[in-house]
Amino acid sequence: MLQNKNIAFYAPIKPPDHHIPSGDRLIAQNIFKALKICGAHVELASRYIAYSKRHDTAILQERKKGALAEAEKLIAYYKTLSEASLPEIWVTYHPYCKAPDWIGPQVSKALGIPYVTIEAAKTGQGGPEDLWKAWRKEAQAGITTANLHLVFKPTDREYLSSLLGTDKKLLGINPFIDAENIKLAKPMELPSHWNKQTPVLITTGMMRKGKKVQNFFMLAETLSGLDEPFNLIIVGGGPEETEIREAFSQIDERHMHWTGIIEHSDVLRWMRSSSIFIWPGWKEPIGMVYLEAQLQELPIIAFESMGVPLVVEDNQTGYLASEGDIEALKNLLARLLKNPQSSKSMGLKGREKVLTQHGIKAAANRLEETLSPLLKS
């Protein structure tokens, strides 16, 4: 049982209270909440950020030095506490090549407590030169010391099984969200010149370099030349916004609404005003935004890429095209636009599926089931 157990939590990519929103931050926040639902005393052990956008050796050395200093500081602090106040297990969320965990393994060893990872993974970036090789080696050094790995994706399971030479320390957990506390939002008022009978598509994403920009480009290509009428809401902003707006220049601007960066509550309200959520999801690790969209009763159009099928059920809560097949994505969207009854049915099924299979209470039960055996009675 996790009731009244002390758990140290750490996310090397960014702490759950970080000021910049992201899917990683949301997952970290939800893990924290789920552990508390189990009755555990959860402490954010460190806010140290190991993550780097660049693979430079100098950055690697600087991050590692800072992390080891943080570990020493924590160990010294814990030595001043009574045994009843010490962490009984250490949980690290998402250690991987760009964000190794140098802290958890050191502290866990010093305290003699179990070390657990959730979503330990391998970056798909780096190219043929494997530019992140040195970082990956550092991440793997910590990952291999863990007593248990909780995995979301089949690709992560394959990676860890190969790295460890066994799958005995691997257990699955469904991607989850605080579904029970996400109600149906109050719809936003749509632009007054929009025909109320025209379906409204919505997409949302940070407008930054890399796969986010590529996903926006794929979406623009998908929507260009689409025969069925639609209006489009684009939520988000970032340094690449000008380039992204240019990609959508072939679509009549009268049928588009750009919200910019807005509060999360307003994102849900715009979703509630829409008919279909579309985001290609190319190379999407999990896609928490799909869970949020389904909670607002929206059917999903996306690629069957990486973690997307874990949260979207093809032909039930949306349509998934083969990864990178833009023509197929366009055809599936057209099919849904032509059949509003099917669209509505998928949206209802999506909300029910998220509530029953991807809610935080189900996740708390899974954490209780998997972590309890590691703890002293």
pLDDT tens by residue, 288-347? 899 999 999 999 999 999 889 999 999 999 999 999 999 999 999 999 999 999 999 999
* Mean predicted lDDT score pLDDT of the chain: 95
Element (H, E) at 322: strand 318-322
Q: Flag whether pLDDT at 125 surpasses 70.
A: no
Give the separation between CA 263 and CA 119, rounded to whole angstroms: 27
pLDDT tens by residue, 191-210? 999 999 999 999 999 999 98
Q: Where are the alpha helices (DSSP H) in 95-182?
A: 103-111, 133-143, 154-164
**349-360 average pLDDT score:** 95
By mean pLDDT, which of 57-61, 120-124, 304-308, 327-331 is the weakest? 120-124
pLDDT of amino acid 129 = 77
Q: Flag whether pLDDT at 181 surpasses 80.
A: yes
Element (H, E) at 301: strand 300-304
**Under 8 Å between Cβ of 71 and 106:** yes
Give the separation between CA 138 and CA 132, rounded to whole angstroms: 10
**CB neighbour burial string for 56-66, b if at least 16 within 10 angstroms, e if fewer:** eeeebeebeee
How large a percentage of the chain has pLDDT more than 70?
Answer: 99
| Position 48 confidence tier, pLDDT thresholds 50, 70, 90 | very high
Domains parsed from the chain with CATH numbers: 6-176+359-374 (3.40.50.2000), 180-357 (3.40.50.2000)
Q: Flag whether pLDDT at 124 surpasses 80.
A: no
What is the pTM (predicted TM-score) of this model? 0.85
**CB neighbour burial string for 119-135, b if at least 16 within 10 angstroms, e if fewer:** bbbbbeebeeeebbeeb
* Cβ neighbours around 335 below 10 Å, total: 14
User: How many DSSP H helices and E strands does the chain contain?
Assistant: 13, 12
**92-113 average pLDDT score:** 98
Element (H, E) at 234: strand 231-235
